[in-house]
Amino acid sequence: MYIYLYDNFLRQKKYESQMKAIENRLTDFGIAGKILRLQRFANPEVIIEDEIKRGATAVIIVGNDATFGHILSRAARCDVIFGFLPIGQQNDIANVLGIPVGEDACDVLSKRRKVFLDVGWFNNRYFVSQLHIPFSPITIEYDEKFRVSSQSGLMELVVCNLQPFIWRGNKGDEFVVHPQDGKLEAFIRPMKKVGLFRKQYEDPSVFPFEEMVVKSTTPFEVEADGKQSKETKITIRLAKSRINMIVGKDRKF
Amino acid sequence: MFQRPSPNIALSQQDNSHVSPDEVETVVGPSVHVEGDFSSEGNILVKGMVSGNVQTSRLLTVESGAKITANVKAGNAVISGEIKGNVRVSDRLELTETARISGDISCVILAVEPGALIVGKVSMEGMTPEKKRTTKSRRRLTKLVDDTDDDTNMEDEFSEEDSIDA
């Protein structure tokens, strides 16, 4: 049995016709199922666990990157097949997974091409898309082997799993941090100096890793899958093959 | 502050290094200081400072201005920066004009541009087995000669004995 988790923004009138077309297509393929609408404070893990007990075999996330990150960061430990129906703007993860945005995603779902995805884990919580630490006086220790620090002291850190990320250089050039083959990669950019109108940055460093510890004497901000918190020490790990996901043929890994 | 990205663009569009950005897996940026043993299964590009052993089975690129203070082990290497320690490359080592190496070098193929500085012993692995072979082969030859002499003597002895018995 398929369960469809709709994001709250899909209630808007502009998505009405698209949603109807998708629902018709799913019925044609014989994979239509129960529709649940996510509320702002609903815990997706509890909802999915309940549905698994009632016989759900596949949970399809319907929405954008934010919906995907919000649901999977909490429900990654659920033993069920996940799928994704990307709708609307801000759908970069869908491109990585090889799923077209809109109605065509139903074709990918019907083919059920499954792949186990790696996810990141930090301080008792999963993150699927990315983790971001803005400029802070942090030191980073990789796999208990080597330590990375900056001469200026301030560093920005991005750990990318599925969602690509962009950095703007000093001369307006762009560094796009794109996802690789499912392994975690840490991108570090130290700050050179703070100018009158803008900050100047060094070229970014890239380190693939399995475990890293980020420390600081003062609390620093951490943003993982859109959720912010303040920490003084975090351990980031790779949780291998955690999510069983339906992907497209044109996936980027 | 940040724009929405498109995943098809490469990591660095304005990278002037010897390696194309897609091939580089680990990058130590300028003003970044790495302490401890640093190993990777992919290519390594060093632009900053590394205090500790560096090890990779693939290409190591040390850019001009970069500094490594420890032993280096790599499959191939292109050095334009400074290394204080022994460099052991299993295939090709390329030293550009800005390269400074204080330590012993061992490699199979060595390319040195004018201006590169080396303080240490250079040993090319292609040469060493030949020397050993020549000395070994000489020893073997002498042994063989001795053995054949013994055999001929033995044969002579047998023939003498046979002739006596007959």
CA distance B60 to chain A (A): 14
> From the list A146, A164, A175, which residue is nearest B7 (CB)?
A164
Q: How far is CA A247 from the centre of its chain?
A: 15
Within-domain flag for B148: no
pLDDT score of B162: 46
The range of the structural domain enclosing residue B83 comes to 11-124
Give A158 or B157, the one with higher predicted confidence: A158
Residue B2 predicted with pLDDT over 80: no
* pLDDT tens digits for range A192-247: 766 656 667 778 888 888 889 999 999 999 998 878 899 999 999 888 888 899 99
Find the closest chain A residue to B10 by CA distance.
A176
A3 confidence band (pLDDT: 50, 70, 90)? very high
* pLDDT tens digits for range A94-125: 988 899 999 999 999 999 999 888 888 988 88
Q: Is B57 on the interface with A (CB under 8 A)?
A: no
> From the list A96, A167, A206, which residue is nearest B27 (CB)?
A206
CA distance A198 to chain B (A): 11
> From the list A92, A206, A208, which residue is nearest B7 (CB)?
A92
B39:A145 CB<8 A: yes
CA distance A75 to chain B (A): 26
Q: How far is CA A227 from the centre of its chain?
A: 11
**Please, what sign has the CA dihedral across residues B133, B136, B138, B140?**
negative
* pLDDT tens digits for range A22-80: 999 999 999 999 999 988 778 888 999 999 999 999 999 999 988 998 898 888 888 89
CA distance A202 to chain B (A): 7
**Percent helix, percent strand, percent coil in chain A, to nearest 5:** 20, 45, 35
Residue A154 predicted with pLDDT over 90: no
Within-domain flag for B36: yes
Place of tokens 């089975």: B57
Which chain B residues contact residue A149 at CB under 8 A? 32-33, 35
Residue B142 predicted with pLDDT over 70: no
Sheet with B87-89: strands ordered across: B38-40, B54-56, B72-74, B87-89, B105-107, B122-124
Within-domain flag for B91: yes
* pLDDT tens digits for range A234-249: 999 888 888 899 999 9
Within-domain flag for B80: yes
Average pLDDT over residues B108-125: 93
Mutate: best of A143, A206, A210, A213, partner B, most B CBs <10 A: A206
Within-domain flag for B93: yes
For B29-52, b/e burial (b = at least 16 CB within 10 A) is: bbbbbbbbebbbeebbbbbbbbbb
What backbone torsions phi and psi does residue B141 show, to the nearest 5 degrees? Answer: -60, -50
pLDDT score of A247: 92
* A233, amino acid identity: K
CA distances from residue B109 to A5, A105, B96 in whole angstroms, order as listed: 60, 53, 14
Within-domain flag for B86: yes
Asked if B104 contacts B85 with a C-beta cutoff of 8 angstroms, the reply is: no
Residue B14 predicted with pLDDT over 70: no
CA distances from residue B87 to A160, A243, B116, B125 in whole angstroms, order as listed: 33, 43, 15, 13
pLDDT score of B56: 93
Q: Where are the beta strands (DSSP E) in chain B?
A: 24-28, 32-36, 38-40, 43-46, 49-51, 54-56, 59-62, 67-68, 72-74, 76-79, 82-84, 87-89, 92-95, 100-102, 105-107, 109-112, 117-119, 122-124
* pLDDT tens digits for range B63-87: 999 999 999 999 999 999 999 999 9
A179 confidence band (pLDDT: 50, 70, 90)? low
DSSP B3-45: PPP-TTS-SBSS--SSS-TTTEEEEE-TTEEEEE-EEESSEEE
Within-domain flag for B131: no
Residue B138 predicted with pLDDT over 70: no
B31:A177 CB<8 A: no
Average pLDDT, chain A: 86
Give A47 or B17, the one with higher predicted confidence: A47
Q: Is B48 on the interface with A (CB under 8 A)?
A: yes
Within-domain flag for B5: no
The three-state secondary structure class of A44 is helix
Domains identified in chain B, total number:
1
Q: Is B40 on the interface with A (CB under 8 A)?
A: yes
A173 confidence band (pLDDT: 50, 70, 90)? low
B9 confidence band (pLDDT: 50, 70, 90)? very low
Residue A253 predicted with pLDDT over 90: no
Which of A145-149, A189-193, B104-108, B159-163 is the most confident on average? Answer: B104-108
Asked if B6 contacts A93 with a C-beta cutoff of 8 angstroms, the reply is: no
Give A41 or A13, the one with higher predicted confidence: A13
pLDDT score of B22: 45
Give B136 or A121, the one with higher predicted confidence: A121
pLDDT score of A82: 95
* A19, amino acid identity: M
pLDDT score of A1: 87
Give the span between the Cα atoms of B149 and B18, in whole angstroms.
61
Residue A8 gets which letter from DSSP?
G
What backbone torsions phi and psi does residue A8 show, to the nearest 5 degrees? Answer: -65, -30
Q: Is B16 on the interface with A (CB under 8 A)?
A: no
- Within chain A, where are the H helices? 16-29, 44-53, 65-75, 92-97, 105-111
B37:A146 CB<8 A: yes
Residue B166 predicted with pLDDT over 60: no
B31:A151 CB<8 A: yes
Which chain B residues contact residue A179 at CB under 8 A? 7
**Please, what sign has the CA dihedral across residues A105, A110, A114, A120?**
positive
> From the list B14, B32, B52, which residue is nearest A188 (CB)?
B32
ipTM attached to this prediction: 0.75
Residue B113 predicted with pLDDT over 90: yes
